[in-house]
Amino acid sequence: MNFENNLAFAQAQDQIDTLKNFRQQFLFPKHQGKDFIYLCGNSLGLQPKAAKEVLDQQLSNWANLAVEGWFEGEEPWMFYHKELKKLMAPLVGALPSEVCPMNTLTVNLHLLMVSFYQPKGKRIKIIMEGGAFPSDQYAIESQVRFHGLQPDDAIIEVFPRAGEDTLRTEDIISKINEHGEELALVLFGGINYYTGQWYDMKRITQAGQAVGAIVGWDLAHAAGNVPVKLHDWDVDFACWCSYKYQNSGPGGIAGIFVHEKHFNNQTLNRFAGWWGYQENKRFKMEKGFIPEAGADGWQVSCTQVMPMALYHASLKIFQKAGFIDPLRSKSIALTGYLYFIVNEVNKELNSAQFKIITPEVAEDRGSQLSIIAAEKGKEIFDGLVANHVLGDWREPNVIRLSPIPLYNSFEDIYLTGQTLLKVCKAIL
Domains of the chain: 7-35+323-427 (3.90.1150.10), 54-321 (3.40.640.10)
DSSP secondary structure code for residue 40 in this structure: B
Strand 47-48 versus strand 37-38 pairing type: unpaired
Q: What is the pLDDT of residue 77?
A: 96
Residues 360-396, buried b or exposed e (16+ Cβ, 10 A)?
A: eebebbbbbbbbbbeebbeebbebbeebbbbbbbeee
Question: Dmax of the chain from CA atoms?
Answer: 73
Q: What is the pLDDT of residue 266?
A: 87
Number of Cβ atoms within 10 Å of the Cβ of 288: 5
Q: What is the pLDDT of residue 196?
A: 98
Q: What is the pLDDT of residue 230?
A: 98
Q: What is the pLDDT of residue 423?
A: 98
The CA–CA distances, whole Å, from 213 to 93, 149, 177 equal 22, 18, 11
From the centroid of its chain, how far is CA 370? 16
pLDDT in tens, the chain (428 residues): 899 999 999 999 999 999 999 999 999 999 999 999 999 999 999 999 999 999 999 999 999 999 999 999 989 999 999 999 999 999 999 999 999 999 999 999 999 999 999 999 999 999 999 999 999 999 999 999 999 999 999 999 999 999 999 999 999 999 999 999 999 999 999 999 999 999 999 999 999 999 999 999 999 999 999 999 999 999 999 999 999 999 999 999 999 999 999 999 988 999 999 999 999 999 999 999 999 999 999 999 999 999 999 999 999 999 999 999 999 999 999 999 999 999 999 999 999 999 999 999 999 999 999 999 999 999 999 999 999 999 999 999 999 999 999 999 999 999 999 999 999 999 99
Q: What is the pLDDT of residue 1?
A: 84
Closest CA to 186 of 211, 166, 219: 211
Q: Please report the sign of the dihedral spanned by the C-alpha atoms of residue 384, residue 389, residue 390, residue 391.
A: negative
